[in-house]
Amino acid sequence: MRGPLSTRDGNEVGGGVIGRRWAAIGIALVASATLFTVGRTASADEPAAFPVPYGAEARSTKDRPADASPPGSNDFDCKPSERHPNPVVLVHGLGANQWENWQTIAPLLANEGYCVFSLTYGRNPLAPPGLDQIGGLKRMEESARELGHFIDKVRDATEADKVDIVGHSEGSLMPNYYVKFLGGARYVDHYVGMTPLWDGTKLLGLHLLYQAGKPFGLSAAASATLAPLCASCTQFLHGSDFIKKMSSGGGPAVDGVKYTMIMTRYDELVIPYTSGIMHNGDAKNTVLQEGCPNDVAEHVAVAFDPITAQHILNALDPKHSRPVDCHATSAQRTESEPDPR
């Protein structure tokens, strides 16, 4: 029987490689608090057929180097189709890399005829073995610049005016720094965030310790202590300078960008999960369980969840949106045979 914080496929919360690495980063956060505190991509005209794993199957994929592309991603010869003119850039979460995070979404989108691209950003060259193959560890301002350079490369290769962004966790927050402060708004059309945190997280009450330490300089000391491992970690906390800057000027939304936020009530890392609601602009906010009470995907599992995947397809192509099937085991719409390779 699945517990209240189990995935749809029965895995325990935080299981697998990504979960273990989140645990390591969580330990580092708690420790700092005590101080104060390549696969071939589908061409747009002739979509390739990649197997699309979900749930436990996707999460059990063997480790690969951080530079390894997930199936269906990073074919720089891909030219967008008339139906899907925007290349899709996938932006992973903290403690993951492109290979781990996009085993489901990358091949799914490639099969649907999108040109799909992904990167591993924010790697820490000083990280010890085991953490040197994951991303999201640098300050998010630095990662946003790295993302901007990658988007320039994608646009140059595809000759596209704009890209769509699909991000998970940190990948739902950090790209908006590029959009809002680095001139990226002119190059981004659809922006889809899974388990976003526009108001930060109150995980383990660390935000209270962090704010309480500020008058005494302890918050800066904690950040400096944590920075060699994870410079971005304190930026996620509710009330952080990064979160405040992102909310400045009336909120995080930028005019002209079409935002879709996807949240889960079982998010054990974004506390509360409603931190992901974008209150301004014309953003669409979706809580998975409001439409599908049977979906118990938690923070990590949403990236491998067929219900979430259906919402992503609808967000990227609203003219051809379909009702979400709460009992689907696959989000695939294009009929195709598995790639024999």
Quick: pLDDT tens for 104-151.
999 999 999 999 999 999 998 887 787 788 999 999 999 999 999 999
**Mean pLDDT, residues 277-300:** 95
Q: With respect to residue 341, please indicate whether it lies within any of the assigned structural domains.
A: no
**Cα radius of gyration (the chain):** 19
Q: With respect to residue 150, please indicate whether it lies within any of the assigned structural domains.
A: yes
Instruction: Give me the half-sphere count of Cα atoms (radius 13 Å) on the Cβ side of residue 59.
Output: 24
**Mean pLDDT, residues 66-80:** 94
- Higher-pLDDT residue of 162 and 10 is 162
Report the distance separating Cα 70 and Cα 89, nearest Å: 12
Hunting for tokens 């967008």 — which residue is that? 80
Q: For residues 120 and 85, is the Cβ–Cβ distance under 8 A?
A: no
Report the distance separating Cα 16 and Cα 75, nearest Å: 28
Q: With respect to residue 274, please indicate whether it lies within any of the assigned structural domains.
A: yes
Give the range of the structural domain holding residue 274, as residue numbers without chain letter: 16-37+85-318
Q: With respect to residue 109, please indicate whether it lies within any of the assigned structural domains.
A: yes
* Tokens linked to 20: 């273990």
Q: Which residues of 114-125 are buried (b: 16+ CB within 10 A; e: fewer)?
A: bbbbbbbbbbbe
Q: How confident is the model at residue 219 (pLDDT cuts 50, 70, 90)?
A: very low
Q: Which residues of 60-80 are buried (b: 16+ CB within 10 A; e: fewer)?
A: ebeeeebebbbbbbbbeebeb
Weakest mean pLDDT among 227-236, 239-248, 286-295 = 227-236
Minimal CA–CA distance to 85: which of 147, 152, 154? 154
- pLDDT over 60 at 220, yes or no: no
- pLDDT over 60 at 194, yes or no: yes
Cα torsion angle, 336, 261, 195, 149, sign? positive
Question: Considering the chain, what percentage of its residues have pLDDT values greater than 70?
Answer: 75
pLDDT in the model for residue 35: 36
Average pLDDT, rounded, for the chain: 83
Helix (H, G, I), strand (E, B) or coil at 307: helix
Weakest mean pLDDT among 103-112, 146-155, 218-227, 295-304 = 218-227
* 31 burial type by CB count under 10 A (0-12 exposed, 13-18 middle, 19+ buried): middle
**Mean pLDDT, residues 290-301:** 97
Question: Considering the chain, what percentage of its residues have pLDDT values greater than 90?
Answer: 67
- Higher-pLDDT residue of 31 and 333 is 333
What is the CB neighbour count within 10 angstroms for residue 186? Answer: 11
Report the distance separating Cα 67 and Cα 150, nearest Å: 13
Hunting for tokens 């890209």 — which residue is that? 163
Report the distance separating Cα 279 and Cα 63, nearest Å: 38
Q: With respect to residue 107, please indicate whether it lies within any of the assigned structural domains.
A: yes
Report the distance separating Cα 156 and Cα 63, nearest Å: 30
Report the distance separating Cα 339 and Cα 50, nearest Å: 5
Residues 6+ apart with CB under 8 A from 1: none
Weakest mean pLDDT among 183-187, 319-323, 328-332 = 328-332
Supply the angle between the helices 218-230 and 206-213 in degrees, to the nearest 10: 130
pLDDT in the model for residue 334: 61
pLDDT in the model for residue 43: 47
* 333 burial type by CB count under 10 A (0-12 exposed, 13-18 middle, 19+ buried): middle
Weakest mean pLDDT among 77-81, 104-108, 120-124, 333-337 = 333-337
pLDDT in the model for residue 26: 53
Helix (H, G, I), strand (E, B) or coil at 258: strand
Helix (H, G, I), strand (E, B) or coil at 284: strand
What CATH code is carried by the domain that includes residue 308? 3.40.50.1820
- pLDDT over 90 at 15, yes or no: no
Q: With respect to residue 77, please indicate whether it lies within any of the assigned structural domains.
A: no
**Mean pLDDT, residues 80-98:** 96
Q: With respect to residue 230, please indicate whether it lies within any of the assigned structural domains.
A: yes
- pLDDT over 80 at 303, yes or no: yes
Report the domain count for the chain.
1
pLDDT in the model for residue 44: 52
pLDDT tens-digit profile of 34-62? Answer: 333 333 334 455 556 899 999 999 987 76
78: left (phi over 0), alpha (psi -120 to 50) or beta: beta
Minimal CA–CA distance to 8: which of 302, 322, 280? 302
Q: Please state, in angstroms and as integers, the Cα–Cα distance from residue 219 to each residue in 32, 99, 208, 234, following that order.
A: 9, 34, 11, 9
Q: With respect to residue 237, please indicate whether it lies within any of the assigned structural domains.
A: yes
